Structure 1
């Protein structure tokens, strides 16, 4: 629910351009990140036409700049939505409790459940595999029995579960649609194209009868799935994309010529084609209706596709930053799972990061795309818009203000909200400024922002760890832990107790680099990353590190453990996906999936789950769960043969790979139950569950 109104400003008009060195693109300024709501659909269409026109115009003018001669070419640039043994008496006598009896998804924030392709409620497991949802009963910890499965349209990526409702999120490609009615609605600018390359589908499955799950609702939104969160009975699904504009040219429409790129004749052809192409685009864009810019939502009701479009409706659910030149849209679809309706809000943004606490959702988007900086880059540095939304009311998302910070935000873990204060870690100059003789070095920043109706910077640390990239961040209470990297891996501790005066407390340099940081207790952190020496990183070594941060001014490295398979390299999905990292505090055990392969006549896959005992100053590998045998078929090519998720249940560990779900004893690793899965074969255009497009 967006509460502000837009005064649509003029965008830059077409400037005459005859200077082949530096075309005049006109004035372009940076003002405010504040979102302004549209008071009419005509205003929305006008703004989106202007943004598309300006992006295409500026991109085309670069072809007249000799510095960009490498861009000369004729490749088409089309845009689109891209796009066992018995349980204890206690277990039998009461309903298992998450966090006490079993582990759930490794979420960034407590109480904010994140969608994933494996879920459990303690008595059943829910697994997405091979375009189906599998329901697996857990009669007692250590036992597994398949209850049922139900086919899911498209390629299921993740799900949320609340009591007897499972929301399965899948990617549906228009080319694979069998519903001719929906397929027809997706026709693009030409008969052979589609409005979008991806649909995000939300399939509501009633599992009150676990043996007979039933799909009760099907909703599609144009765009690709980004993320989803559930807080109690309130669920929000976030997607992003922009509608296909293959009828608009981002390169000169050149006549047929034998001239080679870079020749005088070719340059003359480009010089003449650019203004002609700009004029052509203006005519095409001027005739584009609103539906050619905004994502539609479709719902299947009684077997019939119902379209929720915006051509004749109120467009107050759309908003744009005051100085935005974007034409992509972030869509937030909000559900109160105790009701039947939903709310959809759409923000014109660049593709960004999404974070949620229990009552606040944040979208962090680059203030501008790369094309905006052309002929403007010396005046402006990279920056990020921070948009805040109140999500305390189930099913309602209300905009409450925006701010802007220097640098780029590359992960949801770069974001945090506590007691109304938004904390941000960003990276400045991460891509370098190649056009400058002495570009500023890459560096890291920390900001605190707050305010009732806007987000104003209250305090900051800027320009720290020059020359080093920010690889991992974790906000814990009033501290921020930053991992940067060049050759060694500094851990920085930042005190955020005084919002207006954040300060650097301590620093520790260790070899290698960490990519994810996990709080164990107030005095300890775990991390996973890559091993290395003082001068280089070892990309084939997956390493666990344990830090003692009891003294914030003097953090210590207590232990490290390399998890390589014998005599080989190894990697782990947990290096880049925190949901694959499972620390179980009641047992002080860490489960980390490890994968590798070797060739001996055929490819042989190594698919294991290492259980590591975490002491106050030690890391000890205890047992290894092995799924390698499930992938020992040389005739198949697997999208991912690794164990990908794990769940602790009492005295057992559940391991989930693409081919099996197993239960094993924590004491000795012995397998107590196995459920075979069909697995996901990899073909072009498909994704295994858990991988968003």
Structure 2
């Protein structure tokens, strides 16, 4: 697997504080450091392939010089330093859709935006259930209760997810590759025959998937990759070079070493130099955006690469938003912003159609929402830096003395007008949850619901009907917090998270039913399960709301009062107009619940199916929820 090499290089390189001087032929060029500045999202393209290579190399050298100047990494090329870096790299080795409700009486993935499908570990067409657990893909016929087809993935593959469309079943995953003494990760997409799971088409690209969406007959991807720069590896791992040797090795790299390659059914392709964009400052990482038809015929793919990292994707009917968190260290504290790039898809090709920056960092994809010609973004300043550098979550002080959250943290909602090729800020509202961080966000129409938490849970209601003047209309304070919010009818919102003491110490699963009809939300009812948690808190795809029966279904892990009575199962909650009630607790008949907890629930043919690594189980949907089938894996 390729580590983030440039970070390691910064630790090894002894570069000048003000910049690096290099020679190419008889020409001397000085590469200045690029200090961290806000609003660095504006992208530019290169004049050609030679210009692209030179610009990428310059940016890499400038970034290393900046790190060295800040003295955040040790300098020198001592053998101990090289060994330490090797060890570090090895360790690193809305439209408010109603949970995929369908008129065909089977559930779909819990998608953020109606009509925009998201990848998941399980998909169904109402007859077959396709799932991938423990590196094995299976097609289960729900009529016969048998595994109709099975396909095992390589043991060195991971992060398997699925799409199901008219053109077949699509399996996406990352494969660890060894080639010519190089080790790296490769994103793979297989188009499969749903009946046999035979491979029909294969697309590969260096890197791993950030996220993907399927809209109509089109698949849209964002793939992150790291540079594969063997000349630099050779100098770094030799342990006898100096900064000049390292810089010379970096100048020996080619554009292919920096920009990911790809292939379609074994035929190699490459990103056009005209389709490589870059911000003012970057480290060498890249994100590539591209579209593929679900029907196959992928030879005409046109990937577009941005020389930046990317962590969060938000998809709409015609756009893919890519968000990248960027930070720089000042003398006293870190500075941070999130860069947002909008790609508009036309005829399967992504075109850059707007850029923007917002202060702080996103929680997840639900922090972004496009509605009525505007993009709304919720961020917390200092959230990510606190989390990475000493934070310890929503409990009391850390054992090592760190604080729960920085005193100056705060959250902001920023609104942008979405133009044909621009994102223009129209308004914002800030100072939400001062000293706290965002735990959940849900945009529903022209209203935002935002949960911040440190010791208590304010649920903010933000009126976004005037994009130039967002207004906080309500601040409901309760103990605990919601980590996921889901609409469950007009004026009703369900929150899944944790109850907590007045001091912010979590005590167990909490599901809250909120009345959101007024300007400020109100609690109608709460369900509490002490010493328990749900995967929904960090993975919204684990949530199922089946509107026909007015039930919410959550995989739950219950640790018991003294962590000695572990149980895992499916919690079914009846969601009334003003109340929540436990309708069923379903456990699978498995030998080891510690290893085989339920990961998903879905509705097929009037039955509630639950998926674990041990198998698929069917229960009646309603009544006593009795078991009707078991298909062991």
Structure 2 length-normalised TM: 0.83
Match of 1:199 in 2: 186
Equivalents in 1 of 2:409, 2:35: separation in Å? 28
Output the CA distance in 2 between the equivalents of 1:277 and 1:650.
67
Within the candidate set 113, 123, 143, 2:117 is matched to 113
Q: 1:457 aligns with which of 425, 446, 450?
A: 425
Confirm whether residue 582 of structure 1 aligns to residue 544 of structure 2: yes
SS at match of 1:643: coil
Per the alignment, residue 271 of structure 1 pairs with none
CA separation of 1:39/1:147 partners in 2, compared to 1, >3 Å: closer, same or farther?
same
1:467/1:99 CA distance change after superposition, 3 Å: farther
Name the CA distance, whole Å, in 2 between partners of 1:561 and 1:406: 35
1:551 alignment partner, SS class:
coil
Question: Aligned-pair distance for 1:493?
Answer: 0.4
Matches within 5 A, 1:220-369: 220-245=204-229, 248=232, 277-300=242-265, 305-310=266-271, 314-321=272-279, 323-341=280-298, 342-366=301-325, 368-369=326-327
Separation of aligned partners in 2, 1:255 and 1:146: 54
Matches within 5 A, 1:253-652: 277-300=242-265, 305-310=266-271, 314-321=272-279, 323-341=280-298, 342-366=301-325, 368-370=326-328, 373=329, 381-391=335-345, 393-430=346-383, 431=385, 441-450=408-417, 451-538=419-506, 540-552=507-519, 554-564=520-530, 569-596=531-558, 606-627=567-588, 629-632=589-592, 638=595, 641-652=596-607
Question: Matched residues in 1 for 2:231 and 2:71: separation?
Answer: 19
TM-fit CA distance, 1:145: 3.0
d(CA) in 2 for partners of 1:123, 1:34: 48
Of Structure 1 and Structure 2, which has the larger fraction of its residues in strand? 2
1:145 maps to 2:118? no
Distance 1:165 1:81 in 2: 37
Counterpart-to-counterpart distance in 2, 1:581 and 1:108 = 12
Whole-angstrom CA distance in 2 between matches of 1:118 and 1:432: 34
Separation in structure 2 between the aligned mates of residue 597 and residue 506 of structure 1, nearest angstrom: 35
Q: Structure 1: how far apart are the matches of 2:150 and 2:514?
A: 43
Q: What's the offset of the Cα at 1:278?
A: 3.1
Task: Give the whole-Å Cα distance in 2 for the aligned partners of 1:144 and 1:400.
Answer: 48
Q: Which secondary structure state, in structure 2, belongs to the residue aligned with residue 281 of structure 1?
A: helix
User: 2: CA distance between counterparts of 1:16 and 1:38?
Assistant: 25
Q: 1:10 maps to which residue?
A: none
Matching of residue 161 in structure 1 with residue 164 in structure 2: yes
- Once the two structures are TM-superposed, the CA of residue 365 in structure 1 deviates from its matched residue by 0.9
The match for 1:76 is 85
Q: Quick one: structure 1 residues 536 and 291, their matched pair in 2 at CA, closer, same or farther if it must change by over 3 Å?
A: same
User: Shift in Å at residue 282 of structure 1?
Assistant: 1.4
Question: 1:338–1:163: structure 2 CA closer, same or farther, 3 Å change rule?
Answer: closer
Q: Is the 8 A contact 1:144 1:675 kept in 2?
A: yes
Post-superposition offset of 1:534? 2.1
Task: Return the alpha-carbon distance in structure 2 between the equivalents of residues 514 and 219 of structure 1.
Answer: 39
**Deviation readout 1:109-163 (Å, 9 max, x if unpaired):** 1111100010011121111134332111233xxx633221233343361011103
**Residue 681 (structure 1) aligns with:** none
- SS for the counterpart of 2:590 is helix
Deviations 1:446-468 (A, max 9, x none): 01112332211100012222101
Q: Deviations over 1:15-41 (max 9, x none)?
A: 469xxxxxx967664454222233312
Residues 292, 411 of structure 1: alpha-carbon distance in 2 compared, 3 angstrom cutoff: same
**Within the alignment, does 1:40 sit opposite 2:48 as a pair?**
yes
Query: Number of paired residues?
Result: 573
Deviations 1:203-237 (A, max 9, x none): 11022xx2x33211122111112221111111112
1:104 aligns with 2:108: yes
Distance apart, 1:243 and its partner CA: 2.0
CA distance in 2, matches of 1:398, 1:343: 10
The residue that corresponds to 2:631 in the other structure is: 675
After superposition, the Cα gap between the structure-2 partners of 1:26 and 1:232, relative to the gap in structure 1 and judged at 3 Å, is: closer
Q: 1:474 to 1:251 in 2, by over 3 A?
A: farther
| Contact 2:496/2:510 (8 A) holds in 1 | yes
Q: Distance in 2 between matches of 1:669 and 1:64?
A: 58
Contact 1:170/1:200, CA 8 A, preserved across alignment: yes
Q: 1:81, 1:452 → 2: CA distance?
A: 44
User: Residues of 2 paired with 1:286 and 1:517: CA distance?
Assistant: 50
Q: Which has the higher contact order (CA 8 A, sep 6+)?
A: 1
Unaligned runs of 5+ in 2: 1-14, 20-31, 75-79, 94-99, 391-405
Q: Residue 325 of structure 1 aligns to a residue in which SS?
A: coil
2:536 counterpart SS class: helix
Structure 1's 28 and 383: CA in aligned 2 closer, same or farther, altered over 3 A?
Answer: closer
For structure 1, which runs of at least 5 residues remain unmatched after alignment? 1-12, 18-23, 67-71, 84-95, 176-182, 257-275, 678-693
Deviations 1:439-494 (A, max 9, x none): 86000000111233221110001222210111110110000000000100000000
2:62 counterpart SS class: helix
Q: What do residues 327-364 of structure 1 show as CA deviations (whole Å, max 9, x unaligned)?
A: 21112231122451233221111232110111221111
TM-superposed deviation, 1:59? 2.4
Query: What secondary structure, in the 3-state scheme, does the structure 2 residue paired with 1:563 have?
Result: strand
